[in-house]
Amino acid sequence: MLILSRKIGESIVIDGRIHVKIMRVDGDVVKLGIEAPMEVPVHRQEVYEEIQRNNQQALTKQSTPLPKLPKLGAKKSP
Amino acid sequence: MKCAELTEPQITARTPHKNNVRIPTGLLGFEQIKDYVLTTNPAEEPFAWLHVEDNSALAFVVIDPFVVLPDYQPDLPQADVEFLQIKSAGDAILLGIVTINENQPPTVNLKGPIVINRHTHTGKQVIISNAGNYSVKHPLPVAD
C-alpha cells in the first residue's frame, strides 16, 4: 500500500483524473473532498460492501418461484 | 434532488414486456455486467425481473419500492441525477432489488435502489443520500 503524507488543503491525483483533497481534520475524523469523473462511482466502503453482499445474495435463477404477497400497494389514485 | 416527488414507476404493462436497460457502472459487486433486460409480466406483479442480457438464467427480482413502502423518500445524490440525465421526477423509474430467502421473508434493498431513466433506458444502482434511514433488507410482507 502506498502511504503519503498530506496537509490540510493538499491533494493527491489518481490516474490524472481523480482528485482527493484533505478538507479538514477533526480528532479522528478526516473530511475528504473527492472529484472524479461521473463514470467513476465513489462510495463509503462499509455501505458499498453491504450493498455488494446483498446484491450477491439477491442474484437468482430465473426459475425461482416468486413469493406471494398479500394485497400490497393498492395504488393511490392521484 | 429530493425524490419524494418521484412519481410511481410504470414498470407494469398489461402484457409481458421487455426493455433493454444499460447500467454503465454495473451493479455493486457486478461492475462488469452492464446490459440487462427488464421483464414485466402482469401475472407476476408486483415483481419484475432484471435479467443479465447475455445470460438470461441469471437475474434479479425487482419491485417498485413505493409499493412496499408508500412513504419511501429516497434522496438521490445530485451527481447520480446528472449522470442519468434525469431532468424531472417523471423521468425516473426506481426498482428495489429483492432477495428471496429460504426460511425468512423476502427482503428488498431500499438503501441502494436501481434508478433508470425511462427515456434513455440507462440505469444506475444509486446509494441514496439518506441511506441511513433505510435497510438493505427491508422485509416484504408475505401471504400465507
- Tell me the pLDDT band of B2, cut-offs 50, 70 and 90: very low
Instruction: Inspect the interface and report whether the beta carbons of A60 and B60 lie closer than 8 Å.
Output: yes
- Mean pLDDT over residues A19-23, rounded? 97
Q: Is the pTM of this model over 0.90?
A: no
Return the residue matching grid coordinates 425524490. B3
Q: Which DSSP letter does residue A64 get?
A: P
| Angstroms from A51 CA to nearest CA on chain B | 7
| Angstroms from B37 CA to nearest CA on chain A | 12
What is the C-alpha separation between B48 and B63, in angstroms, rounded? 6
Q: Which DSSP letter does residue B12 get?
A: -
User: Residue B36 burial by CB count (10 A; 0-12/13-18/19+): exposed, middle or buried?
Assistant: buried
What is the C-alpha separation between B59 and A58, in angstroms, rounded? 9
Q: Among A30, A15, A72, which residue's Cα sits nearest to residue B142? A: A72
What is the C-alpha separation between A20 and A22, in angstroms, rounded? 7
Strands of the sheet with A29-35, listed across from one edge: A11-14, A18-26, A29-35
**Cβ contacts (< 8 Å) between B64 and chain A: which residues?**
73
Backbone angles phi, psi at B68, to 5 degrees: -75, -45
* B70 has a pLDDT exceeding 50: yes
Smallest Cβ–Cβ distance between A69 and the set B70, B109, B140 belongs to B140
* Whether B129 contacts B27, CB under 8 Å: no
* A58 has a pLDDT exceeding 90: yes
Q: Among B34, B7, B14, which residue's Cα sits nearest to residue B125? A: B34
Question: CA-CA distances (angstroms) from residue A72 to A50, A58, B43, B98?
Answer: 27, 21, 15, 15
Q: Quick: pLDDT tens for B13-63.
A: 456 788 999 999 999 999 999 999 999 988 888 999 999 998 878 999 999
* Whether B26 contacts B60, CB under 8 Å: no
% of chain A beyond a pLDDT of 90 = 65
For residue B1, the model assigns a pLDDT of 45
**Cβ contacts (< 8 Å) between B27 and chain A: which residues?**
55
